């Protein structure tokens, strides 16, 4: 019998990560890449020492309470961990880690991609060309909104928001404002060309682009509801690379349809992979399939960080990325 800890890997991972895992652990890989579902997750918790899990695994209190449980650790592949009931994990003595830092730049790139795509109507333009409808250049065709000189409002000013601010200010000459209950130092904010606002409402009312960078918690669920969407300027755009349930998707559909806001760029959705059908029919939205961290380099780095967390845990060393 192997002395290596058994790790259930809930989804397919980049090949170098699976190789590394298989070297140091009794790794049970998910070769068909199908989500395990509640029963599969319970089975994994009963039969393995740890799970290397992802955002598609709903580790609820019910799933975590399966008995007799063998697993002692959840190494999450990703920075966000709102799919894990961390209180239930804590109550049951399960350690949880995540993979911060390594996906900051890739996710900031996707926020800027959405900002440019929605303001310059590039999704719509590409559909236009591919459909054969394009009849040629003309001065009034498909005019978008300029980005340079506009105000970017950041909701939350953590690692990813700061990387977005750096790109927006130094790359595009945008004015950056933000609200965060735990703001960066004035010097750090100034280096990003960013100035704080005392309230979220102030950010919403001043910004031409509002980009969401807060974690998904019970407090931030539907933070962008009908009332807050109505505080945004009518020519403003909403960008979401955080988590879907920070936005009330039904209220967003209404706001986009009745012109409360000009458009939205979304990488995350309330009930992924379900996307409100109304959004799919709208030209003033850009819809991406949760691509924030989706570069080869980043996904390998996330995997290696999760493997490192597993190694630290099973060697008895303190976990660098412990969230519970
Ligand atoms: C993250 O790391 O939180 C990304 O959204 C992928 O889950």
pLDDT digits (tens, 9 = 90+) for 92-102: 999 999 999 99
272 is catalytic: yes
Q: Distance, CA 293 to ligand 1 centroid (Å)? A: 7
pLDDT digits (tens, 9 = 90+) for 46-69: 999 999 999 999 999 999 999 999
Catalytically annotated residue among 26, 254, 272, 278:
272
Matching residue, tokens 């966000």: 80
pTM of the model: 0.97
- pLDDT band for position 3 (50/70/90)? confident
Cα–Cα dist 108/101, whole Å: 12
Cα–Cα dist 231/84, whole Å: 32
Backbone angles phi, psi at 322, to 5 degrees: -70, 130
DSSP code of residue 25:
S
120 is catalytic: no
- pLDDT band for position 2 (50/70/90)? low
Where does ligand 1 bind, in terms of residues with CB under 6 Å? 55, 78-80, 103, 292-293
pLDDT digits (tens, 9 = 90+) for 15-33: 999 999 999 999 999 999 9
- pLDDT band for position 1 (50/70/90)? very low
- The SS3 assignment for 21 reads helix
Average pLDDT on 208-232 reads 98
Cα–Cα dist 96/94, whole Å: 6
- The SS3 assignment for 28 reads strand
| pLDDT above 50 for 311 | yes
**Ligand 1 atom closest to Cα of 302?**
2
């Amino acid at each position: 019998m192997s002395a290596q800890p058994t790790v259930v890997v809930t989804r397919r991972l980049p090949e170098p990560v699976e190789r590394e895992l298989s070297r140091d652990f009794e790794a049970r890989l998910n070769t068909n890449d199908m989500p395990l579902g509640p029963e599969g997750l319970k089975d994994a918790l009963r039969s393995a020492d740890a799970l290397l899990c992802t955002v598609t695994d709903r580790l609820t209190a019910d799933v975590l309470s399966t008995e007799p449980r063998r697993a002692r650790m959840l190494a999450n592949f990703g920075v966000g961990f709102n799919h894990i009931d961390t209180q239930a994990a804590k109550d049951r003595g399960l350690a949880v880690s995540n993979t911060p830092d390594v996906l900051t730049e890739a996710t900031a790139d996707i926020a800027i991609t959405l900002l440019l795509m929605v303001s310059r109507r590039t999704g719509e333009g590409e559909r236009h060309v591919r459909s054969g409808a394009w009849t040629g250049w003309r001065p009034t065709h498909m005019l978008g909104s300029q980005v340079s000189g506009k105000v970017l409002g950041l909701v939350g000013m953590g690692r990813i928001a700061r990387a977005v601010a750096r790109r927006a200010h130094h790359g595009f000459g945008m004015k950056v404002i933000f609200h965060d209950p735990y703001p960066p130092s004035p010097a750090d904010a100034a280096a990003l060309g960013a100035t704080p606002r005392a309230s979220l409402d102030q950010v919403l009312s001043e910004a031409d682009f509002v980009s969401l960078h807060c974690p998904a918690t019970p407090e931030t669920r539907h933070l962008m509801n009908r009332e807050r969407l109505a505080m945004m300027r009518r020519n403003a755009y909403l960008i979401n690379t955080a988590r879907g349930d920070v936005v009330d998707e039904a209220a967003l559909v209404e706001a986009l349809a009745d012109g409360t806001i000009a458009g939205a760029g979304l990488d995350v959705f309330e009930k992924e992979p379900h996307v409100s059908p109304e959004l799919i029919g709208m030209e003033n939205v850009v819809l991406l399939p949760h691509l924030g961290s989706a570069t080869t380099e980043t996904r390998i780095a996330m995997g290696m960080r999760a493997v490192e967390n597993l190694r630290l845990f099973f060697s008895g060393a303190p976990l660098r990325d412990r969230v519970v």
